[in-house]
Amino acid sequence: MTDADSNARTRDLSEQELYPIREVSRLTGINPVTLRAWERRYGLVQPIRTESGHRLYSQANVEQVRSILMWIERGVAVSKVGSILARTEHLAPVGSMSDELRDDWLQWQQAILRATVAFDFDALDLTYGQVFSGYPLAVVFQSILLPVWQQLLREREQFGRSSEWLFLDSFLRGRTLQRLQMSRISGQGHHIVITAFPGQCRELELWVGGLMLGNEDVRVSVLALGQPLDELSLVCNKIQPDALVLISQRPSATDTPRRLSRLAMGLDCPLLLAGELSDHLQEQSATPPFVCLGSEGSLMQRRLRQFLAGHLDT
């Protein structure tokens, strides 16, 4: 680069609004560790470096981070995002990419199912690790693992299906519990308690919900399945969490909104709702005394982050 080129680039940079990595993290919701990993490991998002080595990001970099996040949330492996962004400035049609993703997910589902019906623990463990190496946690569970688990659960009346479901359920609960424990150790900042609506959530669904909501900024405590609803005020009074998240993956009874309202009024912390019941109640016209996070992993994370930032950090 000539001196003239260097001077021109310096003038261009001085005219831009540049953001430090912490500000980019705040704007996009992506933590600094992940931003640095995207840069070093995958060559994504190349920030400007100051003489002292600090990273500075332009508005174009910020938009690129958001584009990367969009593709990851759709299920694209981070290792493949760079080639997608490089194809054209106008991203590939969502419909065709969705077809490609569905085919990829189906292949992984079939691999999980094959290992399960063979009761092959080693093959299941290997496939599990391979899936996690290519996709974010929410995609792995919602689009690959849980569909197989749910299929076997629906077919458990067929001969052999109950044994297959128990095999897969036991494996996934073991791996999920490990991840929950690691997440709790590494999580800092806000502390939330997660529990299941009685009779409307299985243990694996509860633990997966805890995984999806926890991160390095949120420490998650998951209460045991069967926790009585009317004793949650006592539990939360002693734990003193920043929020209580209730997970339900089943249709609600007619008295559910009333029970939730009564629970919310008896708590000293905010009540949040996640899962299929959250989607159902959010569609109702009345404004409930609790926050609905939805049932989709990345959406739940984003809404929880927004709630914590808006209600507890002010």
H/E element, 302: helix 297-311
Q: Tell me if 124 sits within 8 A of 112, measured CB to CB.
A: yes
pLDDT-based confidence at 311, cuts 50/70/90?
Answer: low
Q: Please tell me the distance from the alpha carbon of residue 305 to that of residue 266, in angstroms, as a whole number.
A: 24
Closest CA to 61 of 33, 20, 108: 20
Structure tokens at 279: 């989607």
Least confident window among 84-93, 104-113, 195-204: 84-93
Q: How far apart are CA 32 and CA 40, in angstroms?
A: 12
Alpha-carbon gap, residue 145 to 162, rounded angstroms: 17
Q: What percent of the chain has pLDDT over 90?
A: 37
* Cα(75)–Cα(297) distance, integer angstroms: 11
CATH class of 3-87: mainly alpha
Render 140-161 in DSSP notation, one character per residue.
Answer: IIIIIIHHHHHHHHHTTTSTTH
pLDDT in tens, 137-183: 888 998 899 999 999 999 999 999 999 999 999 999 999 999 998 87
| Alpha carbon distances (Å) from 215 to 26, 189, 298 | 15, 10, 12
Contacts 24+ apart (CB under 8 A), 152-159: 152/116
Q: Is the pLDDT of residue 314 over 50?
A: no
Only one residue has tokens 């209580």, namely 244
Q: What is the pLDDT of residue 258?
A: 84
Give the range among 152-166, 232-246, 256-270 with minimum mean pLDDT. 256-270
Rounded percentage of the chain residues whose pLDDT exceeds 70: 83
Residue 271 has pLDDT above 90, yes or no: yes
Unique residue bearing structure tokens 């997966």: 208
Query: What single letter denotes the amino acid at residue 198?
Result: P
Is the domain spanning 94-177 CATH 1.10.1240.10? The answer is yes
How far is Cα 261 from Cα 264, in angstroms, rounded to an integer? 5
pTM of the full structure: 0.70
* Residue 309 vs residues 82, 90, 138, 158, 228: alpha-carbon distances, Å: 31, 33, 22, 48, 29
| Sheet strand arrangement including 243-247 | 218-222, 190-196, 243-247, 271-274, 291-294
Superfamily of chain region 190-311: Cobalamin-binding domain (3.40.50.280)
Q: Beta partners for 219?
A: 191
State pLDDT tens for residues 43-73: 788 888 887 888 899 888 888 888 888 777 7
The overall average pLDDT reported for the chain is: 83
| CA dihedral (158, 159, 165, 166) positive or negative | positive
On the question of pLDDT at 13 being above 60, the answer is no
Element (H, E) at 272: strand 271-274
Domain spans of the chain, in order of start? 3-87, 94-177, 190-311
pLDDT digit string (tens) for 185-215? 766 788 999 999 988 899 999 999 999 898 7
CB 24 within 8 A of CB 35: yes
